[in-house]
Amino acid sequence: MEATAIIQARMGSTRLPGKVLKPLAGHPMLWHVVQRVRATPGLAEVVVATPESSENDAIRAFCGREGIAVFSGSEEDVLDRYYQAARAFAADPVVRVTSDCPLVDPSLIGRLLILFGEGGYDYAGIAIGGAAKAFGVNGYPSGLDAECLSFATLERAWREATLQPEREHVTPYIWCNKDRFRNGMHVPAEDWSDTRLSVDEPEDFTVAECIYEALYREGEPAFGFDDVARFLAARPEVVELNRRFIGKEKYRDLWDAAAPGDGEPLP
C-alpha cells in the first residue's frame, strides 16, 4: 500500500497571517511540514492543496521552486479541494495533514498507515487534543494531527456532506457518522492532550521555534515526538507559552458530537 499525503495550506490566517511561509530554522514552515511528511515510509507522493485565489500564488511559487506537487482548488469547500486533489493524483489511500503542524511526526504517520491497512478501516486518525478528550482516550498534542482514509470514503463524504463544517474541515462527516464508516484511532500510551504543538497563534510559533532550535539539525533525519517529549520534560516553561489556547480548537463541538455515547474509544 502506497498512500498519497495531501497537505492543506493557505496564506490567509487572521491570527498569524502568512504563517505557512513564515521562516522557521532557515526554511518556510511549510517546507518543514513537507519534508517531515516525506520522511514517512510507504508514501508515493506528497501534494500541497491550496486555494485558487491569487493570495495563494506565493504558495504555488514556493512549491514550484522546491519541486513540490501542488493542486489548486476551492477556498471555502476544502472537502472539494481535497477530493479533486486526490482524484487528480490517483491517491488511495489519502493521508490528510495540515500546514500548521511543523512538528508532525513521520513515525506516527507510519504507524497510522499500518493501523489503517491492517484494521481494514475506512478512516483512521491519530488521537489528539480535544478529539481524544471527547472520545475518552489518551491523546497526542494537537499539532501531530494526521488522518488516513480510502478514496472511496473521501468520495462518499464529498458526495453526501452538506453542512458547512463538514465541507470546511474535510473529515467531520466521516467521524460524525460512525454507523456509515468503519473508523479507527491510533492512541498513545500516555496522555499528552493538554499540550499544544499546532501553530495558530504567535505564541504557538514561539513554541515551535524553541523546539526547532533545540532539536533541528539541517540534513539530519527528522526528530520525532519522543525527542520533543524529552525536551518539554526538561523545559516545562515552553509548554506554558501557549497553554491558554488549549481546548479552544474549532473542532471541539464536532468532536463532542462524534464521541460514542457510552464513552468507549474507537477500535
Based on its alpha-carbon atoms, the radius of gyration of the chain, rounded to whole angstroms, reads 17
Q: How remote is the C-alpha of 89 from its chain's centroid?
A: 19
pLDDT computed for residue 107 by the predictor: 96
CA distances from 212 to 22, 111, 181, 222 (A): 14, 23, 38, 11
pLDDT computed for residue 1 by the predictor: 58
Reduced to 3 states (helix: H, G, I; strand: E, B; else coil), residue 233 is helix
Q: Map 127-139 to HEC letters.
A: CEHHHHHHHCCCC
Reduced to 3 states (helix: H, G, I; strand: E, B; else coil), residue 209 is helix
* CATH architecture observed for domain 3-258: Alpha-Beta Complex (3.90)
Taking 80 as the threshold, does the pLDDT of residue 65 lie above it? yes
pLDDT computed for residue 14 by the predictor: 74
pLDDT computed for residue 9 by the predictor: 96
Reduced to 3 states (helix: H, G, I; strand: E, B; else coil), residue 251 is coil
Phi, psi of 81 (to 5 degrees): -60, -45
* DSSP 8-state symbol, 223: P
pLDDT digits (tens, 9 = 90+) for 83-121: 999 999 999 999 999 999 999 999 999 999 999 999 999
Average pLDDT over all residues of the chain: 91
pLDDT digits (tens, 9 = 90+) for 201-243: 999 999 999 999 999 999 999 999 999 999 999 999 999 999 9
Taking 60 as the threshold, does the pLDDT of residue 250 lie above it? no
Lowest mean pLDDT among 53-57, 88-92, 115-119, 254-258: 254-258
Q: Where are the domains of the chain?
A: 3-258
